[in-house]
Amino acid sequence: MEVPLRWSQALIPTLKEVPQDAEIPSHRLLLRAGMIRKVAAGLYTFLPLGRRALLKVERIVREEMDRAGALEILMPALQPVHLWHESGRYEAMREVMFGFKDRRGGDLVLGPTHEEVVTTLAAGEIRSYRDLPRNLYQIQTKFRDEIRPRFGLMRSREFIMKDAYSFDADDEGAKASYEAMYEAYRRIFRRCGLDTRAVEADSGAMGGSSSHEFMVLADAGEDGLVECAACGYAANLEAARSRPAAAPAFEGADAAPEEVPTPGARTIEEVSAFLQAPPAQFVKSLVHVTADGPVLVLAAGDRDVHDVKLGHALGADARLADDDTVCEVAGVSAGFVGPVGLARPTRIVADEKLRGGRGLITGANREDAHLRNLDLARDVPDLEFADLTAARTGDHCPECGEALTERRGIEVGHVFRLGTKYSEALGATFLDAEGQTRPAIMGCYGIGVTRTLQAVVEQSHDKDGILWPVSVAPYEVSVLVLNRAHDPSRETAEAIVAGLEAAGVEVLYDDRDDRPGSKFKDADLVGIPVRIAVGERSLAAGEVELKLRRGGEVTRVPVERAVAAVGEQLEALRAELT
Amino acid sequence: MEVPLRWSQALIPTLKEVPQDAEIPSHRLLLRAGMIRKVAAGLYTFLPLGRRALLKVERIVREEMDRAGALEILMPALQPVHLWHESGRYEAMREVMFGFKDRRGGDLVLGPTHEEVVTTLAAGEIRSYRDLPRNLYQIQTKFRDEIRPRFGLMRSREFIMKDAYSFDADDEGAKASYEAMYEAYRRIFRRCGLDTRAVEADSGAMGGSSSHEFMVLADAGEDGLVECAACGYAANLEAARSRPAAAPAFEGADAAPEEVPTPGARTIEEVSAFLQAPPAQFVKSLVHVTADGPVLVLAAGDRDVHDVKLGHALGADARLADDDTVCEVAGVSAGFVGPVGLARPTRIVADEKLRGGRGLITGANREDAHLRNLDLARDVPDLEFADLTAARTGDHCPECGEALTERRGIEVGHVFRLGTKYSEALGATFLDAEGQTRPAIMGCYGIGVTRTLQAVVEQSHDKDGILWPVSVAPYEVSVLVLNRAHDPSRETAEAIVAGLEAAGVEVLYDDRDDRPGSKFKDADLVGIPVRIAVGERSLAAGEVELKLRRGGEVTRVPVERAVAAVGEQLEALRAELT
């Protein structure tokens, strides 16, 4: 049985002023509604209402993970650093990890993730294919030494994650484990009242073969994605593909290449202005350096080469060349480099979107000169094509060809297929049915639990405050007595509170000795989904006011119907989230 | 609805061998029953069954804290170090805190406790006496850089605590807050099936006026306590009082002091053997140094001066003097020091238990000599008495005079009255009804949640394994099918599992293809309270076996009664814990 909370005995320090250092609506509202307080940069205390909402998100996550057959464990936040050396990730991750020595000189880090610990556990406990599949998860506190903690719980230095790790005997099993998590994630976010997109993502530093991010669309999101309204295709900017448009053909498409002087005009902006041609007609020619030598990378003048895509295309890390290398390769300084007439033979890779391009303009490999009428197929032998630039609004959906739209999003979950990277490095092997030792095939699956809580607020609020979905609201119903000194009002309110308590409803009872206007304002700010207000005027007619926070309709219900009416509203609200 | 767990799909890696580095039964059993695994010294992973049991302890703690009116919050583990300088505790605590710099050079520590953070929160949010009382609690992970982590979860470097902090306007309120927590703690431990003693404790480094520890009696406990079987008085060794016994009078009680040669005999053991007198007849004379100068401390030869008690008696920190200071005070080296004829006037404080002592032997303040026939009242003017030594078995209860018994215990909880130490240091003040600014009066209340879990095992096990109380058992019932290949057995077992699931019972279903003996052994080791075994022989008679893990009685019940019979047993087991 949930005990109702009396506001007069609670700790709900609502703020009238807008906190100065909170940049996005959800951060401001969590502070203003008395849900969280900042302890230091990127470190927050959850106050009682925030803690309750967070526990509800945790419970939804736990129920759905259990339902999907995952097994809950709890690993320590402190991890011996040698595990990170063994996995080979120490150098890549050291900057974001808090690390220190213990009193006996041992090196420890605070885990930003737990692949190393869980794979070591599996190495010790999983012996045979009969022990597979297994999916181990935890709801646990993670730490990251962020360069710039911001946006409250969105990018904090200490946060709660649900992280799960699956171990399978074969690819088919790994795929099934991945799909089970994908489905569980859809259910989790739906139950939290979140509208999310499962977008194709790049696996990045985690390694592995495929991955999806679950994004909450929000203008304040730190991540970019494209989506197709027609077929539902969605991908983050690192991973987004697009169907090639018609080959870009410009004026001069059939003419022979011709050098034109462009004195001092190096950037696309400068040369575009100088030659009176649109940026899309230009080809950027960027010398990159890889472990296998220099590569000339081409992209349309109005697009940026994407590092992650370039890395995938080249199968290696690549960085922009320094001035000396540019000169060596092109015989000219950056700004006038082009694919025709390089000083030395060089691999050339062009963005897929340039395929078939004609009538283009690029550097002439001579100081203060550009080349026009470029036909890539005709003029650049041995040219390779690859997907090097991010998709954007207006590009064609790779699935259906309709126009893509660029959006901003908050990443609340991520599912990865890891393959055997960690199981091989850390010895998580098993004996298969033929008695052969093989590495387990892994997946990993994360949900930012604290971030999810804030994403709910980012997606569900209005100018007056939070609009909690009933599933994660700190309380389901708030009851306000407008004038505490008026005995019949107070007695009616308390009878309704008791009735709701008996019905198993979670009630926040605003029993404060305060002005009605101030109580209404606080109720809107805190955002409990259903509100009952007991005032002298309506009570004279034997009624109380029932208001839904979302939508805002106010209806009058007879006092004796109040508990039942609340129950009906809650049932309807819950039904929306299943 | 709880989904039954199939052993064949679980992760319950029971061990046949006794783990080598586990010194106490509960640690060995948690490892052997597949509840926890060590990651590094003092760092453990909770495996699925251990995690479930831990969640149950957490839930009991949460329910009782909520019932007591405390408000749940969640503070970060990372704390800015300046808070510890402000509270004045940094020097005292730095050794046990993991500390480090973040990438921007800020000093952070991992909180071993949260007085600093919560008091700072209260300073910001509590304004008026109308905002009081408040009790804020969290269930959260703590960190301590232990010199010697050991005994599994008992003394680990990362552990879960429930810590609560009360803020009151006056002493009466603070006392009521303290008592509410004291009662909540009794309920929490009773519901966890623990037999605890609430013992008087010393407030130690926390400051404050009164405190109790909740101890689980266990031979493996790291803490000492005394208790009185007659009246229930109990106290830890730092705090234990005892009623003075008859004044110690030995042979020579009425004779004049007399010097005797004791060449080379310095220790109580040596001089006791040399003079053929019992250790109790001797008076240890120990020169201590305090900020106010040297103090000679006297205690019976068979008792040890207790640092904390001495600190309280002197009102200051005291440490044993170095050789030079001993010589300066007594004119002789340690081993021959006594209270009569010191080289310079010195404050002398004797243990209360020496009051009225006569016929005693002590150092003569001359090399290789002792003094006998010492009568403290007659021979040592201006002697002060204080309680300086720990109580022990046979001492008289301070409440009723009966004999005390020394016991070992595991501290699972602690309640402190803190007074205004932290609220003054960190500015947690409020305006009282007269408009005066006053510091809030605080209490703090801790429960070692992970330690409590292990204490349950330490108190509830037998030679075969764990005996979980039903309230914290990972599952309530285990169902074993003895021969999975026997279709009627398997079908019966699965029908019972389904029936229990439908009845809301948490079931661990041992469906493994394994020998019955091995399954019985694992069931005893894992310790689920009620066990149903489905075997061919009893099934032929239409029956299954029902066994209570504690007590071990096996009864046969008709298959169709199995679910109901389990329900009755669970009800009885639950009733024992309320």
- Confidence band of B244 (pLDDT split at 50, 70, 90): confident
Does residue A1 surpass a pLDDT of 90?
no
**Element containing residue B160 per DSSP (H, E):** strand B158-168
User: DSSP string spanning A205-270?
Assistant: GG--S-EEEEEEE-TT-SEEEEEETTT--EEETTT---B--S--B-TTTTSPPEEEE-TT--SHHH
Question: Are residues A39 and B79, on separate chains, in Cβ contact within 8 Å?
Answer: yes
- Phi, psi dihedral angles at B279 (to 5 degrees): -50, -35
Roughly how many angstroms between the first and final C-alpha of chain B, as a whole number?
Answer: 23
Q: How many angstroms separate the CA of residue A564 from the nearest CA in chain B?
A: 25
Integer Cα distance of B234 and B225 in angstroms: 7
Q: The tokens of A414 are what? A: 């991520």
A325 — alpha (psi -120 to 50), left (phi > 0) or beta? alpha
The Cα A372–Cα A365 span in angstroms is 12
For tokens 């004291």, the residue is B182
- Cα separation, A494 vs A505, whole angstroms: 14
- Which positions in chain B touch A106 (Cβ < 8 Å)? 40-41
Q: Is pLDDT above 60 for B207?
A: no
Among B40, B80, B103, beta carbon nearest to A147: B103
Residue of A nearest to B116 (CA): A39
Rounded to 10°, the helix B48-67/B449-459 angle is: 110
Question: Rounded mean pLDDT of B238-248?
Answer: 81
Q: Identify which of A451, A534, A452, A482 has the alpha carbon closest to the alpha carbon of residue A194.
A: A452
Identity of the amino acid at A226: V
Check CB contact under 8 Å for A48 and B124.
no
Q: Find the CB nearest B74 among A51, A69, A124.
A: A51
DSSP state of A103: T
Question: How does pLDDT run across A413-431, given as a tens digit for each residue?
Answer: 999 999 999 999 999 999 9
Chain mean pLDDT for chain A: 94
Q: Do A69 and B44 touch (CB under 8 A)?
A: no
Average pLDDT along chain B: 94
Q: Read off the tokens for A554.
A: 């106010």
For B563, residues 6+ apart whose C-beta sits below 8 A from its C-beta are B496, B499, B500, B503, B505
- Contacts with B79 from chain A: Cβ below 8 Å: 39-40, 43
Chain B residue with Cα closest to A72: B48
Cβ contact B125–A100 (<8 Å): no
**Hey, are the CB atoms on B103 and A117 less than 8 Å from each other?**
no
Work out how many CB contacts closer than 8 A connect A with B.
146
> What is the per-residue pLDDT across A327-373, written as a single tens digit (0 to 9) for each?
999 999 989 999 999 999 899 999 999 999 999 999 999 999 999 99
By C-alpha distance, which of B176, B183, B162 is closest to B133?
A: B176
In the predicted model, is pLDDT for residue A206 greater than 60?
Answer: no
Contact A73 B46 (CB under 8 A): yes
Structure tokens at A134: 């297994």
Facing B48 at nearest CB: one of A73, A75, A157? A73
**Cα torsion through B334, B336, B341, B346, rounded to 10:** 30
Is residue B317 predicted with pLDDT exceeding 90? Answer: no
Query: Which candidate from B41, B44, B73 shows the least CB-CB separation from A48?
Result: B73
Closest in A78, A98, A143 to B157, CB measured: A78
Distance CA B481, CA B561 (A): 17
Separation of alpha carbons A79 and B393, rounded Å: 44
Torsion angles phi and psi, residue B313, rounded to 5: -65, -40
| Nearest CA distance, A17 vs chain B (angstrom) | 15
Check CB contact under 8 Å for A157 and B78.
yes
Test A43 with B78 for CB contact under 8 angstroms: yes
Which residue from A51, A72, A141 is facing B48, i.e. has the nearest CB? A72
Question: What confidence tier does A121 reach under pLDDT thresholds 50, 70, 90?
Answer: very high
Q: Chain B interface, mutation test: which of A58, A71, A104, most B Cβ atoms within 10 Å?
A: A71
Q: Which residues pair with A78 in a beta bridge?
A: A110
Q: Chain B residue with minimal CA distance to A99?
A: B100
Mutate to test the interface with B, among A65, A74, A117 (most CBs of B within 10 A): A74
SS (HEC) of B462-513: ECCEECCCCCCCCCCEEEEECCCCCHHHHHHHHHHHHHHHHCCCCEEEECCC
Q: What is the ipTM of this complex?
A: 0.91
Q: Which pLDDT belongs to residue B204? A: 52
Helix (H) or strand (E) holding B67: helix B48-67
Three-class DSSP labels, B421-454: HHHHHHCCEEECCCCCEEECEEEEEEEEHHHHHH
Longest Cα–Cα distance of chain B, Å, equals 94
Quote the radius of gyration of chain A (alpha carbons, Å): 30
pLDDT at A209: 59
Determine the residue among B107, B128, B145 to mutate to test chain A binding: the one whose Cβ has the most chain A Cβ atoms within 10 Å: B145
Cα A167 to Cα A71, A431, A434, B569: the distances in Å are: 12, 13, 19, 38
Element (H, E) at A161: strand A158-168
pLDDT of A141 > 50? The answer is yes
Query: Taking 50 as the threshold, does the pLDDT of residue B205 lie above it?
Result: no
Q: Helix, strand, coil proportions of chain B in percent (round to 5)?
A: 30, 30, 40
Which residues in B lie closer than 8 A to residue A37 (C-beta atoms)?
121, 124-125
Q: Which residue has the higher pLDDT, B204 or B172?
A: B172
Q: Cβ separation of A71 and B48 shorter than 8 Å?
A: yes
Residue A276: CB atoms within 10 Å: 6
Structure tokens at B337: 């020091």
Asked if A572 contacts A519 with a C-beta cutoff of 8 angstroms, the reply is no
Residue B134 with chain A: CB contacts under 8 Å: 9, 11
Alpha carbon distance, N-terminus to C-terminus of chain A: 23
Distance from B145 to chain A by nearest Cα, in Å?
A: 6
Which of B100-114, B308-322, B382-396 tops mean pLDDT?
Answer: B100-114
According to the model, what pLDDT value does residue A249 have?
A: 84
Is it the case that residue B481 has pLDDT exceeding 70? yes
Q: Do B76 and A44 lie within an 8 Å CB cutoff?
A: yes
* pLDDT at residue B278 tops 50: yes
**Which three-class secondary structure state does DSSP give residue A535?**
coil
Percent of residues, chain A, with pLDDT higher than 70: 99
Amino acid making up residue A131 = D
Q: Which two tokens stand for residue B578?
A: 């309320």
Contact B32, B521 (CB under 8 A): no
CA B383 to chain centre: 36
Q: In what order do the strands lie in the sheet with A360-363?
A: A258-261, A369-374, A360-363
Specify burial of residue B551 (Cβ count, 10 A radius: 0-12, 13-18, 19+): exposed
| Peptide bond just before B294 cis, omega within 30 deg | no
Residue A204 pLDDT greater than 70, yes or no: no
- How many Cα atoms sit within 13 Å of A531 on the Cβ side? 27
- pLDDT of B254: 87
Q: For residue B246, what pLDDT band results from cuts at 50, 70 and 90?
A: confident
CB within 8 Å: A99 and B100: yes
3-class state of residue B95 by DSSP: helix
pTM exceeds cut of 0.95: no
DSSP one-letter code for B397: P
pLDDT confidence of residue B367? 93
User: Which residues of chain B are within 8 Å of residue A145 when distances are taken between CB atoms?
Assistant: 102-103
Of the pLDDT bands very low, low, confident and very high (cuts 50, 70, 90), residue B21 is confident
Enumerate the H helices of B163-239 as residue ranges. 171-191
- Both tokens of A79, joined, read 């991890």
Best of B65, B98, B143, B507 to disrupt the A interface (most A CBs within 10 Å) is: B98
Residue B206: the pLDDT is: 46
> How close A239 comes to chain B (CA, Å)?
30
What pLDDT band is residue A254 in, cutting at 50, 70 and 90? confident
Contact A51/B44, CB-based, under 8 Å?
no
B contacts of A138 (beta carbons < 8 Å): 51
Per-residue pLDDT at B237: 85
When computed from its CA atoms, the radius of gyration of chain B, rounded to whole angstroms, is: 29
Amino acid found at A203:
S
Sign of the dihedral defined by the CA atoms of residues B511, B514, B515, B521, in that order = negative
* Cα three-residue angle B165-B170-B171, rounded to 5 degrees: 80
Cα gap B239→B58, rounded to integer Å: 30
Chain B residue at shortest CA distance from A153: B76
Start-end of H helices in A115-232: 115-125, 171-191
Reading phi first (left if > 0) and then psi (alpha if -120 to 50, else beta), residue A148 is in beta
Q: Is A271 helix (H, G, I), strand (E, B) or coil?
A: helix
pLDDT > 90: percent of chain B: 84
Q: Which residue, among B73, B163, B430, B512, would best test binding to A if mutated, counting the most A CBs under 10 Å from its CB?
A: B73
